[in-house]
Structure 1
Amino acid sequence: MSRDRTRGRLLRLLSLVPYLLANPGVSPEEAARAFSVDRATLERDLDLLWFCGVPPYDPFALIDVERDDEHITLSSAGYFSRPLRLTRQEAVSIAAALEALGEQMQEVEALGTLLEKVRAAVGEPVEEKQVLFAPAPADPSVFETLSACARRQVSVRITYYSASSGRLADRTIDPYRLISVGGNWYALAYCHLAGDDRLFRLDRISAAKATESPFDLRDKIETTDYERGILYTESNADKKAEVRFSPQAARWARETWPACEGEEHADGSLTLSIPYTGEAWMVRQLLGYGPAARVLAPPELVNALLQTTAELIDNYS
């Protein structure tokens, strides 16, 4: 598909969603006429809308299209029913990002127009201190430090964010090697704090400093599972969460935890036995499913989920 056709389709999709929300039950022929396309083109656009939504892009955040030969109706698309309202910080960030494009701005006239509109909306000059740029997915210096220490076989002192506990902690690790899995870099290393081998995602390491402490490399380090994308291996220290997922969420849950033992029920729901180490991590996973996931056991996880839910409601009420 050419760039012009892609751009035209994107603009049409951005207009199609609010149009369908404002005209629930509209016929396919009428909708096609409104956008000056044939019905086949409209059908392809509707097929694409199934994959559109908002973060975290799970089944409950994607647009749902209900259609037959006579009617089209959208649901789960209320976010797109009104024009986007940016905060000042968001507008400043967009302006800074557009200015960073430099000469490339001239290649797309619409970007220059957008920058002018954003500047006008901000209303005053943007100070450098107002702009906060997100760090790169993985700090190159962290990669270089870990790579060098793996070659030299010396320990590294790191500051690491643990997704399971949701906390930063300083650790000393012996990096065996670096591997790339699913678009992310990991360090396979012995963790002195855990007393066992662990995988550390490089983009969660905020600082890394080489030490002068040597370590012995094991004769054989098995990485086959990791390279196949299997990043988690159940251990005896893990707890088990018994969770029942609604029929609508069952397929998504099975794809998320394909190796977990489960029981499919007559109504289409699914109960999974999910191993976990960090309670905070498990709670965050389950919150993403909302009412589509019900924790059956253990009681402490049920209580943690209820407490976190109550805190979230209190924060946003």
Structure 2
Amino acid sequence: MARPTARVLTLLELLQSGGTRTVAELAGQLGVDERTVRRYVQHLVDLDVPVESVRGRYGGYRLVSGYRMPPLMLSDDEALAVLLGLVAGRRAGLTTSSGAAGETAAAKVRRVLPERLGHRLDAVLATLAFTTPPNTPAAPRSAVLLPLADAVRHHRPVSIRYTTADGRRGERTLHPYGLVSHAGRWYVTGTDPAIGEDRTFRLDRIADARALAGSFVPPAGIDPAERVLAGLATAPYRHEVTLRVQGTAEQIRARLPAGLATLTELPPESGGEEASWFRVELRVERLDWLPAVLASLDGPFVIERPAELRTLVTALADRLTAAARPPRNGGARP
């Protein structure tokens, strides 16, 4: 591609990124003088690309709102980033319930790429392996996700039709504070103004979402992700576990993350150790995996409840002790 033509296309890419670009800014990014920038802009205008000239101190050039120039013009790195993002998004559950959307989007990007680049990207995708299995998430529908996102951004109340885990259906009003993707599922968190309580809902269980009149003011410093994790850690499960663990919050969180357990630092005892103790509370459906996790903490811990967990930890300790004994008569174990 001739160098002036390449610069004209680069100018178009810069303008398509949005906003008004000054002549000096464009000249610096293109590596040309301001007179050449104006000539390149005229080339775009001659091609019926709607470039607007903005006058004034902060003037420059911009594209008419909503204009996009087909086909896609992607560098090798940009095309690889787009296609890998689509693949990773499908595996991580960062897609909508229209499962084919990611595949069709990738196919459209692939069709408009030059043949040389297309073959190289095909080779990457064909030889790429993952160390973790793909998620099979219950992804939200676009008709639910998009209005909720708009309501979060503009602080508007929404009405949602929701089905609970036990199949009960109802309609609620929510002041949504944020959308959160966690472990292959999407959540919306906010406050139910009718009862004045914080609520978190899974988007795949929302059948419909529509904005209501009015607006609300979200609390200052709200962290939607932290709210969702705290809600998951305190959700009702079969077993309620309470521990006391010595160490740092970072060490404990490495084994018992926020979506699983809550931590409360305990006041130091007079004359006690320097290391802090934390009360750890979690709710789980099964206990059989916890002994190994507790052993990996590599620090003192006390099981307050349930007694069944103490039995499982003792059994694990016995198995490890037996496995560590030297073989009888110096022979190898079978």
TM-score by length of 1: 0.36
Based on CA coordinates, which of the two structures has the bigger radius of gyration? 2
